[in-house]
Amino acid sequence: MKKTSQSGIAHLGLLLLILVVAVIAFVGYKLEQSRQTNSPTASTTNVAQAAQNIPTITSKADLNTAESTLNSQNIDGDLNPSSFDQDVSSLQ
């Protein structure tokens, strides 16, 4: 029987694959960590400040005042239905 000297490089390919996966995981971890430590955006800060200024409703008169205030707000006034339809169509 003849002995052949075989030397493969499969183990090097496996090490290279592990190295690539480790680098991608490290970069992803650092990106996620930097995203979480960023300061809150202006909209988040405004919502938090607005939530602190909400008065407590303790009577029916307070409830009626809150209802009339909400009814007087033009929440959907700046919405454009045709622009919304175009945005939805572009997603499909």
Among 43, 65, 40, CA closest to 54: 65
43-89 pLDDT per residue, tens: 556 666 666 677 788 999 989 988 888 888 877 777 777 888 888 88
pLDDT tens digits for 8-45?
788 888 999 999 999 999 999 999 888 877 655 555 56
For residue 49, give Cα distances in angstroms to 21, 45, 46, 52, 54: 43, 6, 5, 5, 9
Write out the DSSP string of the chain.
---------HHHHHHHHHHHHHHHHHHHHHHHHHHHHSPPPHHHHHHHHHHHTPPP--SHHHHHHHHHHHHH--TTTT--HHHHHHHHHHH-
